[in-house]
Each structure stands twice: as C-alpha cells, then as structure tokens.
Chain A
Amino acid sequence: MDIWNQFVQLLFSGLTVGSIYALVALGFVITYSITGILNLSQGDFAMLGALICISFVNSGFPFIIAILLSIVLVMIIGGLFERSAIHPARYSSTATLIIITIGAAFVFRGIAIFVWGTQPYALRPFTGNDSLQIFGAVIQTQNIWAIGISLVSLAVLYFFFNKTYMGKAVTACVVNPFAARLMGIQPRKMSFGAIVISAGLGALAGIIIAPISGASYDMGVMIGLKAFIAAVIGGLTNAPAAIAGAFIIGILEAFTEGYFSSGYKDAISFGLLLLVLFFMPNGIFAKASGKRV
C-alpha cells in the first residue's frame, strides 16, 4: 500500500471517528452554552440510544420507526434527568454539578447492565454494507452517513441559533439571564430544553455508530470523554468550532495509530486537551476575549 493510499485511508478513518465525536460534542456545547453545566453523562445518552434502538429493531419495529422512537425515548430520559438531578441542584457550584453528572452516568450504566447485560449487540447499517473506493482508500456507506449527519446537524443548529427567535432567546439566557427574563424568556425552561435536545443528539450519535463498532453498556465512556475534549478545543460555546475540534481529534488519533502506535492514542488526545487548557483555554478558535476561563 503506497504512501498516498495510506494517507487517504487514515484521513477517512479520522473523519469517521471524528464525526461520531462531533455529534456528541454538539450535545455538550448545547448543554454548556445554555446551562453552564458540563454534562459528563452525555456519552451515555449515545449508549442508551444505541441499545434502545437495537431492542426496538429486534422486537420487529421497522427500522426508521425504531430510530425515531429511540431518539424520543432518550430525550424523555434526558428530561427526567434534568428535572430530578440538575434542577434541584441549580444553585450549586459548577464542580458539584459536574460530579452530579458523573453520578448520573453511573446510574445510566448500571441500568444498562441490568437491562441488556454486558455483552455487545449488533445493529445493521442504514443502507447496507458496501464500501466505496475513493483515491484508493476504502470508506463504508455507514461512515458517510456519520459524516453527513453531523454536518447537517451543524447546519440546522447554526440556523436555529442565529436565524430564529427561539434560538436568539436561548442565547440571551446565556448572556444575561436577568435581562432575558425581563424580555419574557424563561431560563428555567431553557435548561430543560437544552438537555433534552442534547440527549436526542447523543442518541442519534449512538445509533449511527452502533453498526460500525457494536453497542454495549460501556460504549459511552470514551466517546463522551473524547467528544468532551473536542468541545473544549473548540471553545465549549462554539458549535462549529467544536465540530472542527472533533474532526481534529479524530484525525489526530488516526494518524497516531497509523504512523506511530495505537497504545498511546488516548494519551495523545488527552495531552492535546491539557495543552489547550493550559495555553488556550478559550479554545483554539477563540478570539482574545479577555474573559478569564
């Protein structure tokens, strides 16, 4: 396999993995932008989405219905989570809230083990198993779905936040909750909405990735963390930057694996995280804003 082929192959691998991280990272960014909370259980929404979808499919539901139902179900779970764990603690310090989300992650995982056990499950790809050959490198159709959907989600969210009243209302809550309330906008409802939407995005991510690498109770952990890194790199409030960050991480990991060694993959990603946190805490795409992180 010559140099060019390998390079393109690695690029595709990176884009595939990156698009999964991107969808989950979007969820992080939405939650953080609107509520200021870092939701460390975001990855587990992906896990729940994947497993619930598999259960529906195995019970005989048509594929599309199964996907939609699972997303809705996970959104409901997200809502319950918000009301029972986040809302009562909304005046606590951010560190407390982070730890609460860690606790929630445990609960999701424990319930997943209880319902589905620890073994992995399979989900069929959306449009079949063919691969395409581009520039001598191989990419599955499922991977193209992943990349495509993440870009579409990004476009939708961009439109929502910048061009609709609702979106701008939401942004207002983040910038100045008091003023927002004066204008008749309710920050409390926003928090609920933010988490519900993030949950839905997470579920979608899980459903897309399940055909590629299977689904099991612990698939959410690493995905969540890596997506987190992506969001931080992008600046935590900047959705397009987070997506870019996700692809950067994906590609970086792919190239590390491809040219160097796979064992150190995690160390490289987290190392990048530390570098960004230490030297560019507002994300590598941030303009100098003067606000200390």
Chain B
Amino acid sequence: MRSFLSAMISIFCVFILASCGKEPSSASKSEVIKIGGIFSASGGAAPLGKPEMGTVKMLVKELNENGGVNGKKIELIAYDDKSDQNEAVLSTKKLIEQEKVTAIIGGTISGNSLAMIPQVEKAGIPYISLAASKQIVQPDDHSPRNWTFKTAQGDDIVISKLLGYLKENGLQKVAWLNVANAYGTSGHEEFKRFAPDYGIKAVIEEEFEATVDDAKAMLTRVKKANPQAIIVWGTAQESAVITKNIHQLGINVPVIESHGIGTKSFIDLAGEAAEGVIFPVGRILVAEQLPDSDPQKETLLKYKKDFEKAYNYEPTTFGGHAWDAFHLLINAIKEAGTDKEKIKEKLENTKNFVGISGIFNMDKNDHTGLTADSLVMVKIKDGKFVIAE
C-alpha cells in the first residue's frame, strides 16, 4: 500500500507539472510577438552561453523601449539548457508547444543545436543556431535543414582562414593539437579535410584533456617531430596551459591557435608565453583598431559599449552571434510579420547584412552566409590583442 501511495504521489507531481506548464504566460497573441531562446548559460558552455543570453535580453529591452516591431512588443522566453542536450530538446518542445513562439534563437553548443534541429524542422519554425558545426546547416546525412540557420562561422571557415595564413607564411609542416571535446574534434575534422588543399601536412596530431595541468609529456613527442609551427585548438584555460608548456620547453616555432582563446583570461593565464600567439577571430575583439572605412566598425563599437555598460564584462564573439541572430530575425519579422514561412524566406534572402560576426549573404543553399573574410588574424603583442594582417 505504501508503495502504491508513493506512486500516487508521483503521478500527482506530474499533474502539478502539467497544470503549471499548461497556461501560456502572456496576453492575447496580437499584442506581442513571442520569441524563444535556449542558451547554455550554465554548465560547461557557460562562457559562451552567458553573453549570448545577455545580449538577446539586452536587445529585446532596447527594442521594446523604442516601440517594438511594427508597434508590437517582443516577448522573449529564454531558457537555460545547462549545457545539457536533453534539456535543450525539452526546452525546445516547451517553446514550440506551450509558449507557441514564432521563432527560436539558440543552441549554444553544436551538440545541443543538432539535437534541437529535428524538432524545429518537424514543427516548421524558423530556428537560428549560434553554434559552429557545419552539420547544423549542411548535414552529412542530408537530413532536412529548411528552417535551420546559423550565425556562427563554421569551423570550416575558421580553419580555411588559418590554413591560408600558414600557406602565406610558408609553414607547410605543422603539429596539430586539439582539446578532447566536441569543439576540438570539430576543428580537427575540418583541418584534416582542408589541409591538403593548402599543401599543409601535419607531422603529428595529438589531443589534450580540457582539465590538463601539464602537457610537457605529450609535447616532448611534438618537439621530436620537428614541426615548423604548432596549432593549438581549444578554449582559453586548456590552451593557456599548452601554450605555457610550449614556451617552457623552449620550442621556438610560431604558435597558432583558435578563436576560442579570444578573451583576456587567456592572456592572464598564459602570461609571457602568450606573446606572439596568432589566431583567427571575429573583428569584435579588435574593433577599436579597425580602419574607419571598415563597414563593421561602428556596429561593433556600439555593441561593445552597450553590452559592457549593461553587464560589466566583454561580450565576446559568442555574444556577437546572438546579436546577429536577433537582428536578422527582427528584420525578417519587420517585413514578414509573424508568418513563419515568410520569415524563413526573408532570412534566406539576407544580403549584405552588416553584423557582428561578419557581413551576411545568405541564399537557399547557404544558411550561414559568412566567408573567411569575416575573420581577421590577430596577434598577441605586449599582452594585448593586435591585428596582424
């Protein structure tokens, strides 16, 4: 009997849950446009998701203060998927079924975006992802991607930029090191795919853990292989350890890294080892140094200023992807209203949109719209980020 009772209690919980969730939380549809957001504001991807969520919230507030879109206010329903795939999927369903949003922005990590995509494709709702994987818009298994867009440069674009730099500087034989997570392996895949096109060969390819304390053991093998340059593909913390170790072992070749290190904490962590490190990244990192003729400069500076004023930390390229997604969506809504099919068409026809991540030009087959030109090579000099073209 007691176990029956406890089972009853749990069923009761479910009813509570159901009734909690069932009431859509706002006024009648005609006064408000609902947009859904799913960001990894906590968990492993929080450094990416937090600025994303912050950016969208800030932009919604600003837009509503200035009258909204076509006279209607925007209501943002934002969920934190805690960097967990299951949460992302559940939140997507909630947004589609209960909140009945017009469009969704989000999916900080590629894995989460990929898990969300079947839902949005089935439901026929415009979805702009903020993650980088090529599979999000050009899947290897050719599953449908009619409603899915993304505003982050794919790793294929970033790698191309990096390979281009290597070729220009005559660095043919390189060592490739990536962090052992989805971010690192994605970069590795693209590197393997494109390196031959640029005449670049990897003399050694290795992985390092995200929790690495000391990689000198692995680097001894790298040193043995005698590369002309070392590529380190990871985010700030672990890349800093590797960079320091390279410096400590006295391996004196150019070190080229990924856009993941584009934050001040990398310089703090790597100390003097960071000097001379080069990496491709979006222009926002060096906005002040851009020539005034650069079409993105003004937008970049304004975004940086607004974000830092609101939140007191730098927005990063990831916040930038969210900025782009939001504005692309709002522009589409301005012209197409809340008709999902029309919004999708407007997005597909984006031409010359000056965003934070770059200048977007989309079409039916290209749902990202960015090229290698959206990135710049940046060098760390005297503890600061400097454009290195």
Contact surface of A with B, Cβ cutoff 8 Å = 1, 5-6, 9-10, 12-14, 16-17, 20, 113, 117-122, 129, 131, 138, 140, 143, 209, 212-214, 216, 218-219, 221-222, 253-255, 257-259, 261-263, 265-266
Q: Is the CB of B269 within 8 A of A122?
A: yes
A16 to B224, Cβ gap below 8 A? no
- Interface pairs A-B: 4 shortest CB-CB: A120-B237, A258-B217, A213-B213, A257-B217
Determine the chain A residues whose CB is within 8 A of the CB of B50 once the complex forms: 117-118
Neighbouring B residues of A6 by C-beta, 8 Å: 220-221, 224
Q: Within the assembled complex, what's the spacing in Å between the Cα atoms of A143 and B249?
A: 14
The answer to whether B236 has its CB under 8 Å from any CB of chain A is: yes
Instruction: Say yes or no: A118 contacts B47, CB within 8 Å.
Output: yes
B322 is an interface residue with CB less than 8 A from chain A: no
Q: B31 within 8 Å of A by Cβ? A: no
Whether A257 and B218, one on each chain, are in contact in the complex, defined by CB atoms closer than 8 angstroms, is yes
Can you spell out 30 A-B residue pairs with CB atoms less than 8 angstroms apart?
A1-B220, A1-B224, A9-B249, A13-B217, A16-B213, A17-B213, A117-B50, A118-B42, A118-B43, A118-B44, A118-B50, A119-B236, A119-B263, A122-B265, A122-B269, A129-B271, A138-B249, A212-B213, A213-B241, A214-B237, A218-B211, A219-B211, A253-B217, A258-B217, A258-B220, A259-B221, A262-B180, A262-B207, A262-B218, A265-B209
Contacts of B388 in A (CB 8 A): none
Count of residues in B whose CB is under 8 Å from the partner chain: 36
Tell whether, in the assembled complex, residue B216 and residue A9 are in contact, meaning their CB atoms are under 8 Å apart. Answer: yes
Q: Does B64 contact A (CB under 8 A)?
A: no
Query: How far is the CB of B52 from the nearest CB of chain A, in Å?
Result: 14
Tell whether A138 pairs with B217 under 8 Å between CB atoms, given A1-B223, A6-B224, A122-B268: no
Q: Which residues of the partner chain B approach A140 to less than 8 Å between Cβ atoms?
A: 248
Give Cα A119–Cα B263 distance, bound, in whole angstroms. 10
Complex Cα distance, B220 from A138, in Å, reads: 11
Contact status A13-B236, CB under 8 Å: no
Known contacts A120-B236, A131-B248; A214/B241 CB under 8 A: yes
Closest to A6 in B: B220
Query: Which among A14, A113, A213, A258 is the interface contact of B221 at CB below 8 angstroms?
Result: A258
Which chain A residue has the least Cβ–Cβ distance from B264?
Answer: A119
Chain A residues within an 8 Å CB radius of B240: 120, 214
Q: Cβ of A255: which chain B residues have Cβ within 8 Å of it?
A: 217
Q: A138 to B249: give the CA distance in the assembly, Å.
A: 6
B215, CB-defined interface residue at 8 Å: yes
CB-contact partner of A212 in B43, B180, B214, B220, under 8 A: B214
Task: Give the docked Cα–Cα distance between A222 and B224 (Å).
Answer: 29
- Determine chain B's interface SS by DSSP, over half rule: helix
CA–CA, A266 and B211, complex, Å: 11
Is B373 close to A, CB under 8 A? no
Q: With A214-B241, A257-B218 in contact, do A262 and B208 touch (Cβ < 8 Å)? A: yes
Q: Can you list, as one digit per residue, whether each of B31-67 has a CB less than 8 Å from chain A (1) or not (0)?
A: 0000000000011101100100000000000000000
Q: B242: shortest Cβ distance to chain A, in Å?
A: 10
* B217 close to A10 (CB less than 8 A): yes
Contact of B206 with A by CB under 8 A:
yes
- CB atoms of B224 and A258 under 8 A apart: no
Let me know if B214 and A16 touch, CB within 8 A: yes
Produce 1/0 per residue, B299-328, CB < 8 A to A.
000000000000000000000000000000
B213 contacts A118, C-beta separation under 8 Å = no
Contact partner of B217 (CB less than 8 A), chosen from A14, A117, A218, is: A14
Contacts of B268 on A, CB cut-off 8 Å?
121-122
Please indicate the chain A residues that have their CB under 8 angstroms from the CB of B71 in the complex: none
Q: Is the CB of B46 within 8 A of A120?
A: no
Q: Determine whether the beta carbon of B248 is less than 8 Å from that of A262.
A: no
Contacts of A257 in B (CB 8 A): 215, 217-218
B249 — which chain A residues lie within 8 A by C-beta? 9, 138
A51 CB to closest chain B CB, in angstroms? 13
The answer to whether B213 touches A209, judged by C-beta atoms less than 8 angstroms apart, is yes
Please indicate which of the listed interface residues A1, A20, A113, A253 has the most CB atoms of chain B within 10 Å of its own CB: A1
Nearest chain B residue, comparing its CB with the CB of A221? B211
Give the chain A neighbours of B43 by CB distance below 8 A.
118
- Given A118-B43, A119-B236: 18 more A-B contacts, CB < 8 Å: A6-B224, A13-B214, A13-B216, A13-B217, A118-B47, A119-B47, A119-B265, A129-B271, A213-B214, A214-B237, A214-B241, A216-B237, A221-B211, A257-B215, A261-B206, A262-B207, A262-B218, A263-B180
Q: Which one, B206, B209, B220, B265, contacts A120 given CB within 8 A?
A: B265
B218-250 interface code vs A (CB 8 A; 1 in, 0 out): 101101100000000000110011000000111
